[in-house]
Structure 1
Amino acid sequence: MTAFNPPTGVLLGQYIPGTKAWDKARAGLCITATEIAAVMGLSPWASRFSLWHKKAGLPTPPFETNPAVEWGNRLEPVVAQKFADEHPEIELRTTGTWRHRDREWQRATPDRIAQDRLVEVKTSPFGDGWGPSGSDELPIYYRCQVQWQLDTLGLDVCHVALLVSGHDYREYVVEYDETDAKVMRGAAEEFLNDVRQGNRPPIDGADATYQTIRVQPVGREERDVEISAEHAADYDIAQQAYRAADTELTRARGQILDAIGTGYRAVHGDRRIAYRTVKDDGTTLALQPYRGTSA
């Protein structure tokens, strides 16, 4: 078995996710591997706006688990064991929360560590954004996470073990990219400076931004608030566009549902577009899109 070469990062400790100790290790003015994609404006779960409020100690929506998160956590040790079975020459170890040896604010909590490399474990219902097994094609937000982990720990390679749809096992190899890491570090430092100086990011269209705005005010005063002509016009235009898009979406749904008939899935080539759910009597309940499509 290959000798274990420790990373150059500083191990802060091994914490159970969700505990106070775990939260403390990730709190304050630091950027973790799961946050760097939000800093870059590339996260599907958080925005620069929502992360800024979190780092500034302002109200943010509470984290709510869902089946994807639950089963991702449940399956992590199973997928990690599959990787270990495929690579008996590598000693796979659990790890903890790390910081960069020089940059105390740079944090990462990789899933596993194996000799001189990291191993990340992921699950995906449909595999959207993932390339063929053996490639380095990851969704951009996971690539950010992996590069941040490698940069934090001072390592050069990360293996990603992925389970798609509960049965399709794949592996990816991502090498450290110094240029990408430098860009992310610069963006993270600028972001943290904005937090210190109170420079709030602009409001964008991310749902995380809207949900963060929702939890800021508490209570209601019986008063009118004058808004700008620009904000009023922007809202009116967006509402009109939404109604028009909703009408077009209903038409597109009708076309697909009509084409499916008594079938189950709508496909185009090797792409699944949408699927039909039914009531107990066999009539249509709904047309559901596959991830990455709009049905």
Structure 2
Amino acid sequence: MTIEVGSPEWLRTPTASKIPSILGISRFKSQFALWHEMAGLVEPEPPSESTQELFDYGHAAELAAREYWLRRNPRWRASQKEVQYQATHLPGIPLAVATIDRRGSLGGRRRIIEVKTAQSAEDWGDDGSGIVPSDYAAQVLWQMLVSGIYAADLVLWPQYGMPRIYPIEWDVAVADAIAGRVAEWVASLEAGTPPPLDNTVSTYSCLRRLHPDIERDAEVELNPGLASEYLRTVADRKLLDAEERGLKNRILAEMGNAQYAMCHGHKIADRRNARGDTVSLYANTKSEFLEGVPA
């Protein structure tokens, strides 16, 4: 029986899409937020209009990616739709689920075809070196573990540029480590022990939804250290925001119509089209420029 995505059973079951959050390496959802959703304490946050557009784009990209993969793999076939696998043999995990975007087949051989979209290929190795974001790699390893298909291709479908195919190698040691972490996660749900707080937007959003009611005139006494740290940080942030805005203004003025701001061969920032006839400035926070600058 296929578990429907979004159903109560699906929500409380370890699935491939939840693995990055369980491991604490997701760029989109924190451990704290996922735990409370799987525990049934908060409803999953509904996608915004822009996020839903990305989901729709991703599903459309799967159709094109399937055709592209078939052209790169002659004689192979590929399923028309997603294929879901379930496993009950993993220690400490009553039910494990993995839904793969497409399943390739050639005779008795099988191959997972997973499709991901991206606005930028920077996290994937611009030189085509085969760098795959760790959260996506972990997700595919889980799919291998649950399905028993130990060969996989991750198809990157960028919004700009040509698609790329990244083979994902089976690693039994890493897969076993992932399964161990998931078993610990399942045990924490059964024990009612949530993961610790963190500083992510995802956790902040979860906490806002966790206690939506306001008990009028009720008070909570804060630790003096927490109270002072909070007020100082808010005040400092306002000063830093103003300072950052001034620096962005200076860089935008220097750039004119240029796309990239460079310094000694290092990309510092780039201009990207925004809504309407405007542009936005994005800092290259991964730049190695600061490593060579004296403190």
Unaligned runs of 5+ in 1: 1-11, 16-20
Q: Does 1:89 align with 2:89?
A: no
Distance 1:239 1:258, change over 3 A: same
* 2:282 paired residue number: 289
The superposition leaves residues 184-240 of structure 1 with CA deviations (integer Å, 9 ceiling, x where unpaired) of 111111111111111121111111111010012233222232112232133124324
- Higher RCO, 1 or 2 (CA under 8 Å, sep at least 6)? 1
Match of 1:112 among 89, 98, 102: 102
Shift in Å, 1:137: 1.6
Normalising by the residue count of structure 1, what TM-score does the alignment of the two structures yield? 0.82
Checking the alignment, whether the CA contact within 8 Å between 1:52 and 1:201 is kept in structure 2 is yes
CA RMSD across the alignment: 2.8
- Give the length in aligned residue pairs: 273
Match of 2:57 among 71, 75, 86: 71
Checking the alignment, whether the CA contact within 8 Å between 1:60 and 1:212 is kept in structure 2 is no
Unaligned runs of 5+ in 2: 288-295
Distance 1:197 1:90, change over 3 A: same
Relative to structure 2, which stretch is displaced further, 144-153 or 98-107? Answer: 98-107
Checking the alignment, whether the CA contact within 8 Å between 1:122 and 1:162 is kept in structure 2 is yes
Relative to structure 2, which stretch is displaced further, 170-179 or 61-70? Answer: 61-70
SS of alignment partner, residue 215 of structure 1 = helix
Shift in Å, 1:51: 0.7
Distance 1:118 1:61, change over 3 A: closer
* 1:164 paired residue number: 158
Distance 1:36 1:276, change over 3 A: closer
* 1:3 paired residue number: none
Shift in Å, 1:122: 1.5
Q: Does 1:200 align with 2:205?
A: no
Shift in Å, 1:139: 0.7
Mapping of residues 1-295 of structure 1, within 5 Å: 12-13=1-2, 21-24=4-7, 27=10, 29-65=12-48, 66=51, 67-93=53-79, 94-103=81-90, 104-115=94-105, 116-131=110-125, 135-223=129-217, 224-261=219-256, 263-268=257-262, 269=265, 271=267, 273-275=269-271, 285-289=278-282
Distance 1:171 1:290, change over 3 A: farther
Distance 1:73 1:241, change over 3 A: farther
